[in-house]
Amino acid sequence: MSWTLNTVVHAELEVKKSRFLAWVEPVSSREEAQARIEAYRQAYPDARHVCFAFHAGGDSGMSDDGEPSGTAGKPIFSVINHKSLVNVLGVVVRYFGGVKLGAGGLVRAYSGAVSQALETAERVPVETWCRLELECSFARESDVRRLLADYDLNPDNVEYGQGVYMTVVLPESRLVSFRSDFQALAPGDPALAVRSADEATG
C-alpha cells in the first residue's frame, strides 16, 4: 500500500549550530515539485543548501545541492521511500553553522529532519490502478459490457477482429473479484480472456 500526504508538514533540527529546516508536502508531478523547490530557494536566498527529493506522478528526483554526494538528497528520499510515500516532495534548507558535520553527520541530519517532520504527518492511502486487456466472442460482448457497468467501468480501445478486444482500468482492490466474475461469464470458454497490461498509480 502506498500513501501520500494531504497537507504540508514542517520541522526544524539544529546540529552543531547548523539549522536544518525540513518540509514534506504533497505534489502531483515533477513540474509541480520543481516549482515548489524554486519557491523555497526564493524564500530562503541566504541558505547554504536547499536539498530535496521527490516521488511524484511515477517520476522521482533528488539533489544534494552542493553537499557531498549522497549525503542529502538520497537520505531524504530514503525516508520518503521507507514510509511508502508517493506524490510527495521533501525539502531541507540548511543554514551552515560553521562546524563541518562529516558525511555520516550530514546523512543523519538530513534524514532526521525529514523524519521529524513526518512524525506529525497524517498519511492518506493512494489507490493503485491496474490496466486489463479483455477478449471475448461477439456473442459474449453484451455480457461483458453488463459486467463492466456493474463495476462502473468504461472500456477503452474497443477493437473488433476475430473477437472483441477492449481495455479497462480498475482499482487494484477490485482486481481479484473482477477477474473471477469475468471468467464466470463463460467458464472454460477459450475466447474469454483477461490479461494484465501496464499499471498506473492515481
Per-residue tens of pLDDT for the chain, all 202 residues? 788 999 999 999 999 999 999 999 999 899 999 999 999 999 999 999 999 999 987 789 999 999 999 999 999 999 999 998 999 999 999 999 999 999 999 999 999 999 999 998 989 888 777 888 999 999 999 999 999 999 999 998 899 998 999 999 888 778 888 989 998 988 777 767 777 765 444 4
Task: Delimit the domains of the chain by residue range.
Answer: 2-125, 127-201
Give the residue among 30, 40, 85, 34 at the shortest CA–CA distance from 60: 30
Which stretch of DSSP H or E encloses residue 181? helix 175-183
CATH topology of domain 2-125: Ribosomal Protein S5; domain 2 (3.30.230)
pTM exceeding 0.85: no
CATH number of 127-201: 3.30.70.240
